[in-house]
Amino acid sequence: MSFSEKILDWYHINKRELPWRSTRDPYKIWLSEIILQQTRVVQGMPYYHRFLEAFPSVHDLADASEEKVLKLWQGLGYYSRARNLHATAKMIVEDFNGEFPTTYEGLKSLKGVGDYTASAIASICFDVPEPVVDGNVYRVLARYFGVELPINSTEGTKYFKELAREVMETKNVRDYNQGIMEFGAIQCAPKKPYCLLCPLQDGCVALKENKVDVLPVKLNKTKIKERHFNYLVFLDEQENTLMEQRKGRGIWQNLYQFPLLESEKELQTDEMEGELTCKTDFPNTESLSLFNTEPIIHKLSHQHLYTKFWILKTDDVLEEGTPWKKIMAYPVPVLIADFIKKFKF
């Protein structure tokens, strides 16, 4: 039995019943694939249902405000996915009359749709014989064939795509592509894979050469940057506060936050008081206190945010302020959402 036949047999016995597996609707497949990028199935499932309830079709998503899309996405992280999702919906409606392209090349022309997502939609929805290569597939192929090329190198990316095409089952590409991804997620898991009960164990180079724990190889390109965030939570006597929208191309673009002071190091109370005296555009502060004496360390893929929330009560009326009771309606980073839930006047 060939590699691909073993994958298909395993999949038909072990596949999880997931809502996007019972459809060929490219909108639903696309939605699931974007949500599940860098998100586990158990975390992404509620978001999938929420988005379909709010936006049953690509037209509904295209017509929505970005603020509503970002609010629904809140907590999933990597918010560029949500912005691309919204932009692509508009592109499909405006440029493709609401119909998804049916070819790999056409799908790849969509904003936020790369090789993997285009391959997944093309094969699952339209039976296009295009192999998928995601993190799970990299792991299965690297271990089974004993490939030591780094999966995130130019040479490695090209090699694994060619290898995936070579071993792919073209007669049932829909199930095969879903099968090899499922196999990597469940059977050939990153940690503690089930090698003793694996249908591929007889031909697995990594198992034979005791390299299961070292394959696949990945170059460590990520340099973690440390940043110090100081959120200024202004409160007036009417329980209004100030919110601002993040602009630019940095993290959390277009999400809302309290006014932010970023510092080169952790600030103590006297240092924050000094900072505030230099800021003439802020309301006058009646009292200053810290919500958390130790910074909350919020870890992102390329940076760690050491965050303090400073409570600033003011006797000024915050004319452009927002009632505290309404701020949960704003799309905010999960770090700020957690603070809002915990803070008590």
Active site residues: 33
CA distances in angstroms from 106 to 95, 101, 115, 234, listed in the order given: 12, 5, 11, 49
Long-range contacts of 300-303 (CB under 8 A, 24+ apart): 300/77, 300/251, 301/222, 302/222, 302/223, 302/224, 302/225, 303/224, 303/225, 303/226, 303/227, 303/251
Instruction: Name residues whose C-beta falls within 8 Å of residue 242's C-beta, 6 or more positions apart in sequence.
Output: 232, 234, 258, 259, 283, 318, 320, 321, 322
Q: In angstroms, rounded to a whole number, what is the distance separating the alpha carbons of residues 164 and 149? A: 14
Rg (CA), the chain: 24
